[in-house]
Amino acid sequence: MEINEIHIKHVAENVEKIETEIAKHMVGQKELIRQVLICILTGGNVLLEGVPGLGKTRLVNTLGKVMGLKFSRIQFTPDLMPADVVGTNIIVKDNPEGGMFKFQPGPIFSNIVLADEINRATPKTQSAMLQAMQEKTVTVANTTYQLPKPFFVLATQNPIEMEGTYPLPEAQLDRFLFKLEVPFPTLEELADIVTMTTGSKQADLNEVTNGEELLKIMDIVKEIPVARPVLEYALKLVLATHPETEYAHDITKKYIRYGSSPRGAQAIISTAKIKALLEGRYNVAFEDIRYTAYPALRHRIFLNFEGLSEGLTADEIISEIMKDLDESL
């Protein structure tokens, strides 16, 4: 498929329509909405982290309505079982003499799945999401079922209430294309939120796109070229998060226990393509890599004891590494 200016304009107009419609129900958080859309249009999963009441659930619900996609919500709790997520086989009596097993799909059989407070479920239930997030399939009783297309998981977790939670294992964190931190609203935004949610008038949401259209956009995104120097910049950035490599930065050797997996490089490049497309460009630039590096890598870098004790964040380390890479350009 060869892309042209018409394709680029079509994608940009579609995303603008989606953002305009979402803005009817969401106050502020334009950057967060843009990053979630970038992730969705790449076909990836998103982990949203923020304190309660910031509109994480509302955002996901609004996305489903605006995009014309089937939406389901799974409230993760310690007693939630894998079968409650993926589904199970039930006995259906089709005649008086006996019955047969029939698969009853779980809530994961939707286009957009909201995994609310995913870190409250046990590791056994969390692992039930792994196959779905990576392969877009689920296996029950040795039978594999294909999930609807498109399929995205948008998970939320609360960073302050850690009692009774089970931290997500590295393997599952790696399945999320982006980890996004939901910011607290400003004074003006808070005033608008209170006015919107306590008043009698509620704006009606319109469906401005559909699943078929989203799949076409995903195909267009794959055709965006990446120049070799830009690709190498992203790859060196990922390699620089590993203390044992020749590209390791001093801060990496001192504070990082484990660096990003190859999925980090895939996430940076694939999301940088849609970022370029939304800005009307045919190719990926260095600025696109810098933009997508933070949400793509912050959950893939694991600090050692020294880094944790000094209160460093993954974002600070990514900034230092990129500063060093920029000087060598």
* pLDDT classification of 1: cutoffs 50, 70, 90: low
Average pLDDT over residues 274-291: 90
- Show Cβ contacts of residue 47 under 8 Å, excluding neighbours closer than 6 positions: 118, 155, 156, 157, 168, 173, 176, 178, 179, 180, 299
CATH of 224-328, one of 1.10.3720.10, 3.90.1150.10, 1.10.8.80, 3.90.600.10: 1.10.8.80
Distances (CA, A) of 290 to 179, 206, 231, 280: 15, 34, 12, 18
Q: Which pair of structure tokens corresponds to residue 215? A: 């799949």
pLDDT of residue 235 exceeding 90: yes
Q: Please, are residues 214 and 40 in contact by the beta-carbon 8 Å criterion? A: yes
* pLDDT classification of 192: cutoffs 50, 70, 90: confident
Render 95-124 in DSSP notation, one character per residue: ETTEEEEEEEE-TTSSSEEEEETGGGS-HH
Instruction: Determine the residue type at 124.
Output: K
Tell the residue number behind the tokens 């909405």, with chain if given: 33
* pLDDT classification of 96: cutoffs 50, 70, 90: low
pLDDT of residue 289 exceeding 70: yes
Question: What gap in Å lies between CA 88 and CA 326, rounded to an integer?
Answer: 52
* pLDDT classification of 58: cutoffs 50, 70, 90: confident
Closest CA to 35 of 22, 52, 51, 53: 22
pLDDT of residue 63 exceeding 90: no
Q: Would the CATH topology of 5-81+110-215 be identical to that of 224-328?
A: no
* pLDDT classification of 164: cutoffs 50, 70, 90: low
pLDDT of residue 250 exceeding 90: no
- Show Cβ contacts of residue 80 under 8 Å, excluding neighbours closer than 6 positions: 74, 121, 122, 125
Average pLDDT over residues 276-293: 90
Question: What gap in Å lies between CA 98 and CA 253, rounded to an integer?
Answer: 65
The pLDDT value given to residue 227: 92
Question: What gap in Å lies between CA 276 and CA 264, rounded to an integer?
Answer: 18
The pLDDT value given to residue 122: 87
Average pLDDT over residues 323-328: 86
* pLDDT classification of 268: cutoffs 50, 70, 90: very high
Average pLDDT over residues 277-286: 88
pTM of the model: 0.88
Instruction: Determine the residue type at 14.
Output: N
**Average pLDDT, whole number, for the chain?**
86
Tell the residue number behind the tokens 């930065």, with chain if given: 249
Q: What is the pLDDT of residues 204-224, one digit of tens each?
A: 788 888 888 888 888 888 888
CATH of 5-81+110-215, one of 3.40.50.1220, 3.40.50.300, 3.40.50.2300, 1.10.10.10: 3.40.50.300
Q: Prior bond to 150 cis, omega within 30? A: yes
Average pLDDT over residues 164-177: 83
Question: What gap in Å lies between CA 145 and CA 84, rounded to an integer?
Answer: 16
Tell the residue number behind the tokens 């079509």, with chain if given: 10
Q: Where are the domains of the chain?
A: 5-81+110-215, 224-328
Higher pLDDT, 289 or 27: 289
Ranges 3-17, 65-79, 133-147: which has the least confidence: 3-17
In the chain, DSSP assigns E strands to: 46-49, 71-75, 87-95, 98-105, 112-116, 137-140, 143-146, 152-157, 178-181, 256-258, 302-303
Percent of the chain with pLDDT strictly greater than 90: 29
The pLDDT value given to residue 326: 87
CB-based burial, 29-65: b 16+ in 10 Å, e otherwise: beebbebbbbbbbbbbbbbbbbeeebbbbebbbbbbb
